[in-house]
């Protein structure tokens, strides 16, 4: 914990190395990307960075509010998508059981005395798709008042497993951060290490990501719903890897078949964000299919697979009101690639 906090408090870290390319050499109109930058300056006062990747190269990069390429970003709920990637790696390697495994088979020691009689029906897939039916409250902008109860409890997994399962909600999507944390605990229980340690060996290490932090809870589990900190350039590396079907530098890092399932609409989501796969949002924007890792405040890793492009936004996370960056993508960035 102290080592992770020291990383966050470092006044300066060098920028991660990433291949650069001029926008025009990637078939992109640089002028339109500059227009997006000007729109950020005028209307997105909480923005920290905006990056655009295409054809495996970083083609546009701007920072705001004193941020720079070496600084870590609080990814908030975009952390959930990293839990999905790690789960896919672990399942295919045999470090975690397959997705139809009942959660109680792995988390039996965390099951409280008082729990729903239907708890034994809940599988890892239910958690990945947020269809477990646990009683929860979710606002229109994904606000979750009950997440405070989770984070104040002494045993997070036991609290999450104690929630009543509503018959009418089992199998239906509801955005619920406790599901994501339970996946992280399952990863810990089956691999013997926390998600951050597992990521450093199987995801961050192969991607050359060294400057990172992932906060644990009091039980020592990496938070599954929030808590991950990465630089914007390292988010861009992840985007390149995902666009290449999970490979990076000729190495298959994330199983391609897992990503295909994670990016597929496994359940209808919410109109403002899209449908839901395995801890990823997906849908269509300006005629382009997208895959999205999203966090409060506007932390986004947005994939545009048909354009072979990714867009990274980071912003102030400690805010109640924030401005969605989607308009920047629709008005400037996608048109820049269609020019």
CA distance 84 to 76: 15
3-state secondary structure of 315: strand
Full set of structural domains in the chain with CATH: 2-35+42-47+57-79+193-231+242-338 (3.40.710.10), 81-189 (no CATH)
CA distance 132 to 124: 9
Question: 84-132: per-residue pLDDT in tens?
Answer: 999 999 999 999 999 999 999 999 999 999 999 999 999 999 999 999 9
pLDDT of residue 26: 97
Phi–psi pair at 187, nearest 5 degrees: -60, -45
Judged against a pLDDT cut of 60, whether residue 197 lies above it is answered with: yes
Phi–psi pair at 303, nearest 5 degrees: -105, 135
pLDDT of residue 2: 46
Question: 150-181: per-residue pLDDT in tens?
Answer: 999 999 999 999 999 999 999 999 999 999 99
Percentage of residues in the chain having pLDDT higher than 90: 93
Check: CB of residue 119 under 8 Å from CB of residue 135.
no
Question: 123-151: per-residue pLDDT in tens?
Answer: 999 999 999 999 999 998 899 999 999 99
Model confidence, pTM = 0.95
Dump strand ranges (E) for 185-296. Answer: 212-214, 228-230, 247-248, 251-252, 267-270, 274-276, 281-285, 288-295
**For all residues of the chain together, what is the average pLDDT?**
95
Check: CB of residue 237 under 8 Å from CB of residue 243.
no
Question: 2-61: per-residue pLDDT in tens?
Answer: 444 445 545 557 889 999 999 999 999 999 999 999 999 999 999 999 999 999 999 999
pLDDT of residue 1: 46
Could you tell me the CA-to-CA distances from 105 to 68, 91, 131, 190, 334 in Å, in that order?
45, 15, 18, 11, 45
pLDDT of residue 12: 59
Beta bridge partners of 268: none
**Residue 229 — very low, low, confident or very high, per pLDDT cuts 50/70/90?**
very high
């Amino acid at each position: 914990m102290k080592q992770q906090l020291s990383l966050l408090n470092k006044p300066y870290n060098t920028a991660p190395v990433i291949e650069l390319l001029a926008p025009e050499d990637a078939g992109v109109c640089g002028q339109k990307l500059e227009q997006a930058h000007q729109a950020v300056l005028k209307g997105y006062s909480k923005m920290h960075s905006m990056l655009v990747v295409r054809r495996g190269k970083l083609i546009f990069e701007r920072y705001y509010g004193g941020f720079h390429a070496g600084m870590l970003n609080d990814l908030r709920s975009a952390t959930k998508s990293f839990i999905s990637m790690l789960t896919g790696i672990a399942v295919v390697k045999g470090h975690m059981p397959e997705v139809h495994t009942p959660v109680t088979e792995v988390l039996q020691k965390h099951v409280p005395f008082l729990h729903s009689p239907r708890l034994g029906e809940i599988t890892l897939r239910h958690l990945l798709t947020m269809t477990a039916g646990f009683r929860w409250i979710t606002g229109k902008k994904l606000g979750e008042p009950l997440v405070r109860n989770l984070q104040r409890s002494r045993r997070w997994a036991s609290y999450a497993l104690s929630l009543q399962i509503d018959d009418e909600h089992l199998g239906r999507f509801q955005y619920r951060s406790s599901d994501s944390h339970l996946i992280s605990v399952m990863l810990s229980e089956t691999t013997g290490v926390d998600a951050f340690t597992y990521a450093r060996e199987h995801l961050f290490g192969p991607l050359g990501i060294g400057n990172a932090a992932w906060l644990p809870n009091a039980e020592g589990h990496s938070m599954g719903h929030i808590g991950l900190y990465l630089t914007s350039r390292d988010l861009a590396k992840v985007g390149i890897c995902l666009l290449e079907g999970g490979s990076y530098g000729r190495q298959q890092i994330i199983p391609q078949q897992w990503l295909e399932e994670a990016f597929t609409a496994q359940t209808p989501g919410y109109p403002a964000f899209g449908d839901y796969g395995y801890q990823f949002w997906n849908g269509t924007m300006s005629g382009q299919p997208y895959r999205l890792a999203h966090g409060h405040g506007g932390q986004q890793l947005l994939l545009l697979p048909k354009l072979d492009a990714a867009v990274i936004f980071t912003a102030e996370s400690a805010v109640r009101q924030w401005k969605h960056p989607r308009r920047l993508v629709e008005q400037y960035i996608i048109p820049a690639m269609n020019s």
